[in-house]
Amino acid sequence: MVNIAEKSDTRQPSRTSLRALDWANFFLADVRDGLGPYLAIFLLTSLHWNAQNIGLAMSVMGIATVVTQTPAGILVDRTRKKRLLSIMASMLIATAALLTILLPTYSVVIGGQALMGVAAAWFAPAVAAITLGLVGHNVLDRQIGRNETFNHAGNVFAALLAGLIGYYVSPKGIFVLLAAMSLVSSVTIWQIREEDIDHELARGDGDTEGGDSGDKPSGWRAIFTNRPILFFALACVLFHFANAAMLPLLGQRLAKGINAGASSAYMSACIIVAQIVMIPVSALTGQLADKGRKRLLLIGFLVLPIRGVLYTLTNDPILLIAIQVLDGIGAGTFGVLSILIVSDLTKGSGLFNTTQGAIATAIGLGASLSNAFAGGIVQRSGYNTAFLVLSGIAVAALAILSLFVPETKQISEASYK
């Protein structure tokens, strides 16, 4: 039998496109995640919202992402205008960020978060698809590791600037920074050469010659009858339900009794510590992933409940910031391996981005509900109770991953032998 994947995976993209992909990941780092915990600090210290309303506002972006993530994945599979739509998404985020500080009413803040959620739904499948279309399956492990390395380096850069701007200028300047990075990311995306992207390969369809090229990927039956995908999605839901609220809660806890500038500086320190750790972790994960995915991902899942419990053991800001090393390990491994696992399970099917969208919907569901859920617990029982409850949910995610998700690298290799 002809090895279709290898046949269609010989890719030689230009150095210009590969460099542009690196810088796109660098500048999209802060763009695709929105304002995150900085929004919580802004709403708490500048607009004086309570914890429950803050949790609701932060959940809106996640809910909007949930609604649009799967359609975004399907669109990525079908469109050849991946660069143009990525630029449009960046511009939408820039607009929402600026409106939040120019017209900081309840409706504008909520509406801006909804716009950011719609735009953010596009980036994960689009960047992964462009990457696969540029380099192919054979070197995807290392390239995704490189993508995530640049992404985390960009987060460090953005967090450093955000901390300096928030402390010395104004917390509102952080929103302007997000808008500026959106503009720069648009330029780098456009520098990726269209002729270097194999759009059939970008949707995971290795059969560009022998298959029925007229078939459009629907994917629903294939996705919902695939047990490894379903259990992986469930583990992701619980993992992100437990994880998403932890950093915003930590930011709110550190912000108690201090001014907005100092709060932004503390939050930047938390992000910088985690992102610095993610840089080598992502690169190493990309190198080691060829030997297997599951053992590495189990490490990433394991550190989350440990991190949640440690938050309850101290009130020292320095120690709380240091605990963010664990966040770097967990996020660094997940960012690389989640894409590779989906690639393994969909290789040759034409459903790579559709499945990514479905998995991302599950992830977004867990993350969006997390902030509102945790905010309610804080309102009634305090921060430590919220951290412990989230840690318990993280343990459940670890158990599902360990017991019900197979080693997908072996599945991927078996499919083409």
Structure-block tokens of residue 236: 């992701």
Residue 65 resides in a domain: yes
C-alpha span between 224 and 222 (Å, rounded): 6
Residue 1 resides in a domain: no
C-alpha span between 161 and 293 (Å, rounded): 34
Are 24 and 134 within 8 A, CB to CB? no
Residue 204 resides in a domain: no
Residue 318 resides in a domain: yes
Q: What is 127-149 written as a DSSP string?
A: HHHHHHHHH-GGGHHHHHHHHHH
Averaged pLDDT in 10-residue chunks for the chain of 417 residues: 43 90 90 71 79 78 82 90 94 90 87 89 90 89 92 84 82 87 94 92 63 47 78 92 90 71 74 88 92 92 96 90 93 92 81 83 77 87 93 96 87 50
pLDDT score of 208:
41
The phi, psi pair for 144, rounded to 5°, reads -65, -40
Are 229 and 362 within 8 A, CB to CB? no
CATH number at residue 184: 1.20.1250.20
C-alpha span between 178 and 297 (Å, rounded): 30
Q: Is the pTM of this model over 0.85?
A: no
Residue 6 resides in a domain: no
C-alpha span between 131 and 111 (Å, rounded): 31
Range of the structural domain that residue 24 is part of: 16-199+220-414
Residue 211 resides in a domain: no
| Helix 324-346 / helix 246-255 crossing angle, nearest 10 deg | 160
pLDDT score of 387:
95
Say how many domains are in the chain.
1
Residue 264 resides in a domain: yes
pLDDT score of 206:
52
- Distances 138 to 122, 213, 235, 285, 346 between C-alpha atoms, Å: 25, 22, 27, 16, 14
